[in-house]
Amino acid sequence: MRKILAVPVVAATLALTLVAPAAATSPSQVIMLPGATSAEGPFTGASKLVEGVDIPGADGLVLEGRRLWAVQFANQVSRWQLSDDLTSGTADGVITDPRFAEPVTAAKFGDRLAVVNSHLSTGFPPKSPTYEVVLVDAG
C-alpha cells in the first residue's frame, strides 16, 4: 500500500506526493484526512490529528516552517500557524482571489503562492481550453 508522504522541494517548502513508504526522507510531515489534518512520522508510520486544524475540501498543502497553506475547492487558500511539535494549529487567515477556479495545489515562491486552477467542473477529463496559475500574496 502506498502512503501520502511529504518530500522536501524548493526553499524548504514541503509538497505532498505519493511515494513508497521506504522512500520517506522527512522526519515529520502533514497529511490530509477527510475534514481533518494529521501529522505523521514517515519512519514510524505513527500519526496524530493536529488539534484545531479543520480544513474541509482541501487538496494541496504547502508547509514552510510551521506555517501551513491549504488550497481548498471553495476557491480559497486557508493559512494556519502550527505548533512547534505539529500537535495543534490556529487559523491565520484566508486568501481569496476572483481568478481562482477550483484550485487544487500551490507552490510558494518568496512571499507569493502560485495557485493552480483545476477546472474540474468542466468534465472528466477537464475540457477547459486554458489552465491558469494564479500568483497571490502568501500573507
Domain 3-137 has CATH 2.40.128: yes
CA distance 56 to 48: 18
What is the end-to-end Cα distance of the chain in Å, rounded? 37
Residues 130-138 have a mean pLDDT of 91
* Phi (first) and psi of residue 92, to 5 degrees: -130, 20
Question: What residue segments make up the domains of the chain, in order of their start?
Answer: 3-137
What 8-state DSSP symbol labels residue 99?
Answer: T
Residues 14-55 have pLDDT tens digits of: 333 222 233 334 444 455 444 566 666 667 777 777 888 888
Cell of 126: 477537464
CA distance 101 to 74: 9
Q: Which of these, 73, 76, 135, lies nearest to 109 by C-alpha position?
A: 135
What 8-state DSSP symbol labels residue 51?
Answer: B
Can you give the pLDDT at residue 94?
97
Q: Are the C-beta atoms of 74 and 58 separated by less than 8 Å? A: no
Whether a cis peptide bond, with omega within 30° of 0, leads into 98 is no
Residues 72-123 have pLDDT tens digits of: 989 999 999 999 888 899 999 999 999 999 999 999 999 999 999 988 888 8
